[in-house]
A and B are shown apart, each in its own frame.
Chain A
Amino acid sequence: MSHDGHHSVVIPAPGPEFVPHTVAHHFDTPVQEFQAAKLGFWLFLATEILLFGGLFAAYFYFHESYPETFRLGGRQLDWKLGALNTTVLLISSWTMAMGVRSAQTSQKQKTLMYCALTVLGAAIFMVVKFFEYKAKNEHGLIVFSELFHPYDGATGSIPWFKDYHGVMAGVPHGHLFFAIYLTMTAIHGLHVVIGAGLILWVMKGAAKGRFHAGYFLPVDLVGLYWHLVDLIWIFLFPLLYLVP
């Protein structure tokens, strides 16, 4: 295989509805380009695991300290909505896997359809999440309008948590569960939104015919990202909604 910088390698399009792909000039072969990008993306996903891992470590740490708080807090969440969202994400993960498969087999329309279904799953997930947050807001467990109000150390009451005498009255530091719930689901939700955005971007390229059996790298990578979002939720669901 030649290593001089004077040639560009082009992967031809498999059909008239597709466009060819030019391999970046510093790579010798398409396989090298593919594997380099993929290894890089797996490394990035590893960083995501460790980033979320910190949150999970905090969860377990305080689940150990205040088991009653967590058990009672978990009961304030609607597990049915949680299960619904789990189902939605699992199905969307499946549609994404099918989307990648369609790109691998040069099925342009199917790629677009499965990607669109995945975005739809993301949208449903976020709508359900919105109603969940809304309910927490109404019950005074997370009052979003007062989220960033300053905390008065002297009275010891947190502005966004209004439940000191309500359902969480019997347990220590009732706000802690909801703070962790909010932080974890908000960061996860951000990933859902980013993932949906990436899938829309991939769809733009797919519509132009950029992805086919010869070149489907972006679809593959965005798919991996979406599965990671699903992966994290698989752990969040039992930990938050069905606190063991």
Chain B
Amino acid sequence: MTTNVPVIDVHAEAHGSGSTHYLNCSKGFWSWAGTLDHKRIGLMYLIGTGVAFLAGGLFALLVRLHLWQPDGLLFKDNVQYNQIFTLHGAFMVFLFVIPAIPGSLGNMVLPLMLGAKDVALPRLNLLSFYLWVTGAVLAALAIILGGFDTGWTFYAPYSLYTDQAVVTIGLAVFVLGFSSIFTGLNFIVTVHKLRAPGLTWFRMPLFVWALYATSILQVLATPVLGITVLLVAFERLYHIGIFDPRLGGDPVLFEHFFWFYSHPAVYIMVLPAFGIISELVSVHSRKPLFGYKLIAFSSLAIAIISFLVWGHHMFTSGQSTYAMFAFSFLTFFVAIPTAIKEFSWVATVWKGSIALNAPMLYTLAFLIIFAIGGLTGVILGSLNVDIHLHDTYFVVAHFHYVMMGSIALAFFAGLHHWWPKMFGVMYDETMAKIACGLIFVGFNATFIPQFIMGSRGMPRRYATYVPEYQPYHMASTIGAMILGVGVAVMVFCFVASLFQRKKAMQNQWGGVTLDWLTPTPPPLENFAEAPTVTNEVYDYSTLDYKAMQTPVR
């Protein structure tokens, strides 16, 4: 084998100077639609998932309005109500929560944090985005074809019998699944192969660790969802019979397949949020993370354990008593790595130099809400208690404390944190803080009543209810409206910042990870000089205060 092959330098011209960056380096539709730049793809994801979030939120408001009175306020029949809450769930889960953080912030920040020029497989990255678009178009098509009323879980046998566009939305989920898989695959390869010299595994920022653990789940769990929705489509098309009890099939098998993915999916959603919070508590307290390695390993531990507990969604499905015992027992183990994280965050903030700006306010809100969301999860994981609480609003409130209260709030926190990095502009801090306050109050006002009425037996997914529950429902609806206003103020605040163009600082918050060491906004290939890492992670003694006072050009 030859060992001395000359390396030929084909074009050695230098790149543009500091004032050109990824936003203005090229113009025109195709410079965006055909871009391979991870930052532009991240921005397109941000817009796409943002629109999906607003649409999903609108559906939620409609559902809450309908439940204002016991016999329903808005919808003409139960089917329509079922369709709207299904749309809310499907949009939020598949088009927003799963792709949002990895797709937008992950794409934007991960290569920056690694000191890489791009993700390892840029074409695949663009393909991921277009698969997301295809999934979104198919979901819209399913609405046009008459909608779907199965809930986001597509439970058999109902999903096999209902006369709605289940095949189309199933196809959408399949395509969105592969979008998610390819993002995860790309991130794993990027972390393994594109770390800057000196950036050892234990010098990686925790957002990178979290995205890495998420990616493992995306790659290993999502294919099973793919085959599950495919099998549901086949059942509807040519009646395989494996999920259809009339044909000798077993709906419980569907639930096994579905939750084999969808429990780990909860961690596909929440691990990136954990990653954002880990970054933010450190930067905005200007303190190295307490228990860095513990947080890093707990992400991996959560990823692995999450494959062992899916049956806790099936305690009333008719699965074997022994299986239920095992699943309930194993579920409690998830609480250990999760609690390690929560304690580490709180310990990081403790006696830190806390800056109470908008990203930090969202972070603190997360810490409170996630504690409630996590602990109610332990309650639901207990087999005997779950028999009572299963399919009540208690479950709805629990997973909204995790999905909306924790994940979406962490996403907002990260968005405020990296907004100046992404665009070089600052939003109005006061307005952002007001939005955060409205969201925090509105969120709790929406879901605390749901905990109470759920524990008192109000079942989920009902279009009408007995009048005894009306006060809770009214409180919840008012809360949802406040939450809606809060989100509207936040969106306005972001959009306005793009027009006001109040310049951000080169290093707005004083971060010391590589993403803050490149110019703001970053140039096309991220770093003018190839970075070499010599410091330990979160070492604030190296902070260059000048960059915090130098506005972007």
Mask: chain A, 35-68; 1 = CB below 8 Å from B; 0 = not:
1110110011011111111110110011001100
Cβ–Cβ contact B247 & A25, under 8 A = no
- Give Cα distance in the complex from A83 to B14, angstroms: 61
Cβ–Cβ contact B185 & A148, under 8 A = no
Is the CB of B228 closer than 8 A to any CB of chain A? yes
Cβ–Cβ contact A9 & B7, under 8 A = yes
Interface size on B, residues (CB 8 A): 62
Cβ–Cβ contact A37 & B121, under 8 A = yes
Residues of A within 8 A of B7 (CB): 7, 9-10
Given A9-B8, A43-B219, A36-B234 contact (CB < 8 Å): no
Given A12-B8, A43-B189, A179-B238, A5-B219 contact (CB < 8 Å): no
Taking the nearest CB of chain A, how far is it from the CB of B528, in angstroms? 8
Cβ–Cβ contact B242 & A62, under 8 A = yes
Residues of B within 8 A of A151 (CB): 239
Cβ–Cβ contact B227 & A54, under 8 A = yes
- For residues 163 through 177 of chain A, which have their beta carbon under 8 Å from a beta carbon of chain B? 172-173, 175-176
Is the CB of B241 closer than 8 A to any CB of chain A? yes
Residues of A within 8 A of B391 (CB): none
Taking the nearest CB of chain A, how far is it from the CB of B37, in angstroms? 10
Residues of A within 8 A of B241 (CB): 158, 173, 175-176, 179
Taking the nearest CB of chain B, how far is it from the CB of A39, in angstroms? 5
Mask: chain B, 1-15; 1 = CB below 8 Å from A; 0 = not:
100011111111111
Residues of A within 8 A of B249 (CB): 62, 176
Cβ–Cβ contact A39 & B193, under 8 A = yes
- Give Cα distance in the complex from A167 to B248, angstroms: 18
A10's nearest neighbour on chain B, judged by CB, is: B8
Is the CB of B102 closer than 8 A to any CB of chain A? no
Is the CB of A72 closer than 8 A to any CB of chain B? no
- For residues 152 through 179 of chain B, which have their beta carbon under 8 Å from a beta carbon of chain A? 161
Is the CB of A15 closer than 8 A to any CB of chain B? no
Cβ–Cβ contact A5 & B224, under 8 A = no
- Give Cα distance in the complex from A176 to B256, angstroms: 19
- Give Cα distance in the complex from A89 to B200, angstroms: 44
Interface size on A, residues (CB 8 A): 55
- Give Cα distance in the complex from A184 to B192, angstroms: 34
Cβ–Cβ contact A50 & B238, under 8 A = no
Residues of B within 8 A of A49 (CB): 223
Contact check: which of B15, B121, B237, B247 meets A5 at CB < 8 Å? B15
Cβ–Cβ contact B248 & A40, under 8 A = no
Residues of A within 8 A of B238 (CB): 147-148, 160, 179, 182
Cβ–Cβ contact B224 & A53, under 8 A = yes
Cβ–Cβ contact A61 & B124, under 8 A = no
Is the CB of A109 closer than 8 A to any CB of chain B? no
- Give Cα distance in the complex from A6 to B7, angstroms: 13
Is the CB of B54 closer than 8 A to any CB of chain A? no
- Segment among B88-96, B112-120, B329-337, B397-405 that sits at the interface with chain A: B112-120
Given A5-B15, A36-B194, A151-B239, A173-B248 contact (CB < 8 Å): yes
Q: Could you list some 12 contacts between A and B, CB below 8 A?
A: A8-B11, A26-B120, A26-B525, A36-B120, A36-B189, A43-B189, A58-B231, A58-B242, A61-B250, A62-B242, A147-B237, A183-B231
A interface residues, Cβ below 8 angstroms from B: 2-12, 22, 25-26, 32, 35-37, 39-40, 43-44, 46-55, 57-58, 61-62, 65-66, 147-148, 151, 153, 156, 158, 160, 172-173, 175-176, 179-180, 182-183, 213-214
Since A40-B188, A40-B189 are in contact, a sample of 11 more A-B pairs with Cβ atoms closer than 8 Å, ordered by chain A residue number, is A3-B532, A43-B219, A46-B220, A47-B219, A50-B221, A148-B237, A173-B241, A175-B247, A176-B240, A176-B241, A179-B240
